[in-house]
A and B are shown apart, each in its own frame.
Chain A
Amino acid sequence: MNAFGARVRSFRRAAVTLLIAAALYEATARSGYFAAALLPTIPAVVHTLWAMLMDGTMLQHALYTLYRVMFGLGLAIAVGLPLGILMGRIPAVEHFFLPLVSVLMPIPSLAWVPVFILWFGIGNVTTILIVFYAATFPMVLNAWSGVRSVNPLWMRAAGAMGANGQSLFWKVIIPGASPFIITGVRQAFLRSWIAVVGAEMIAASAWGLGWVIFDAKEFLNADVMLASLAVIGCIGFVFERLVFGALERATVLRWGMMRAAKG
């Protein structure tokens, strides 16, 4: 058994699951129990998706959404990662921020949308801030846990070899916490991706995958909605499996700090 064979088999298993689910949907759509406008067949959705891809509108929507996610996620990492690390290293920072994190974290980011619209109006600022809100907490919590889970023996060994301050931080604490940090970025991305679509439905105008779904509701365009959902799913999948999967394979899996998923 080799790695390539295992990947092919894992891919085949996933394909079987998806094909069965698609067949069930198609059978329901064609059964005649539901109006075709509400439950379009897969070929109809594919046709709409193709048309939107060809005229460039889908790309434009996706780029708007990705821009908001990347901006918000970038901010969340820039704030959440250092904050989580400082919380793990300095008790005073932990004591100050932990109650704040505990109170704010359980509030769904979407519950802030109306408030943010009042403060910042409709558009990019509000959607980006919603993404930022959704992504910051998983980043903070994972960085915080990661720093606290660094093996004390590594710290001792490094200290005995003359590491201190900066070198201890960059050469031991950061790589030692890397399984948690990568998980944090991964979770932050997923939360962002979920939050951005919701935020766009209410707070975006004219562009964005969330906006196009919400807008299509007005015209009973179920095929547009489903085509957009498919794009949302695909982009999320690509990031989750390819980008973060590759990041893990290049780091924590290679170092044996995390076990590979049984595909």
Chain B
Amino acid sequence: MLHIEVNNVSLVYDTPAGRVTGVHEASFGMQESEFLCIVGPSGCGKSTLLNIIAGFLAPTSGEIRIGGKVVTGHGLDRGIVFQDFAQLFPWRTALENVAFGLEMKGVPKAEREEIALKQLQLVKLEKFVRSYPHHLSGGMQQRVAIARALAYNPAVLLMDEPFAALDALTRDEMQRLLAEVWRETRKTVIYVTHNVAEAVYLADRVVVMTPHPGTVKTEVPIRLARPRDALSIEFLEHQKQLMRHLSEQAAKA
């Protein structure tokens, strides 16, 4: 049985300009501990699809199963990291932010702080445990967000372009860190990005989505040894292959 199944998921919504298809019959499956990237240009419905998986949006048709159970609404089996740094609670320290999910679960204070501290160590922020978000850089805030989403041990981690608002150097550093975190935790990850190199660097498999209507065009497995060298021939070959899939669609449109 597959760990996650996305079966013929569509989302249609009505706007003043008429009916718009956000996602059209998207399907793919995932094994446990797989790192999956969804790549596509803006407007291809990749973030919408992630929001459906997260349970923030209900699909018009189709279904999503996690561990065999159909997704209805959000739940603690999924951890979510958004693009916007403002996702952290400014009135809570890094540690208190990370402990939030456990607090909601009713885990006692001492225990949840111990777990939160471990999560912050995982993203190398143990020195900033007592800092408030506004004293942390954008990259550090996103690391807190990752720790926060992992702290209550969800079955799958959903990430919506978490590094898109960072400068290129910080982004590289964050990708390395995330690859390390994934190697240690072996979480199932669905990672949405429009950055092809990022997808090749992180993913076991890349789902390519194309717009009008937003649908899954193809899947590309990335069988490269980790840690990956972004300047190797094989790496660039994969990048080219993905670019080809994306530009074919652009030429059609």
Residue positions of A touching B, CB distance < 8 A: 151, 153-154, 156-163, 167, 171-172, 175-176, 178, 251, 254-257
Contacts and interface: CB of A to CB of B under 8 A. Distances in A.
Interface in B112-158: 132-135, 148, 152
A161 B89 contact: no
B56 interface: yes
A163 to B, nearest CB: 5
Say what secondary structure dominates the interface of chain B: mixed
B101 interface: yes
A257 B56 contact: no
Given A153-B86, A160-B54, A161-B104, A178 B91 contact: yes
Given A171-B100, A175-B89, A175-B91, 11 more contacts: A153-B86, A156-B56, A158-B100, A158-B104, A160-B54, A160-B74, A161-B101, A178-B91, A256-B134, A256-B135, A257-B90
Interface stretch (B34-42, B76-84, B229-237): B76-84
Contacts of A154: 86-87, 89
Contacts of B78: 160
B92 to A, nearest CB: 8
| Max count, chain A CB within 10 A of own CB: residue among B55, B78, B91 | B91
Contacts of B79: 160
B105 interface: yes
A204 B98 CA distance: 55
B90 A255 contact: yes
Contact of B104 (A162, A175, A255, A256): A162
Given A160-B79, A256-B133, A256-B135, A167 B87 contact: no
A157 B160 CA distance: 12
A181 to B, nearest CB: 12
A256 B90 contact: yes
A191 B76 CA distance: 46
8 contacts: A153-B87, A157-B87, A159-B74, A163-B104, A167-B104, A171-B103, A251-B91, A254-B132
A160 B89 contact: no
A251 B75 CA distance: 31
Nearest to B158: A160
B132 A256 contact: yes
A143 B104 CA distance: 25
Given A151-B86, A159-B74, A160-B80, A257 B100 contact: no
B91 A157 contact: no
A161 B76 contact: yes
Given A153-B82, A160-B74, A161-B152, A172 B89 contact: yes
Contacts of A153: 82, 84, 86-87
Contacts of B132: 254-256
Contacts of B152: 161-162
Contacts of B101: 161-162
Contact of B91 (A156, A161, A257): A257
Contact of B82 (A157, A159, A175, A176): A157
A247 to B, nearest CB: 14
Nearest first, the 8 closest Cβ-Cβ pairs linking A and B are A256-B134, A161-B101, A162-B104, A175-B91, A255-B90, A255-B91, A160-B80, A160-B74
Nearest to A254: B132
A162 B76 CA distance: 6
A175 B90 CA distance: 9
A151 B54 CA distance: 19
A135 B170 CA distance: 49
Nearest to A153: B87
A152 to B, nearest CB: 10
Nearest to B133: A256
Contacts of B134: 255-257
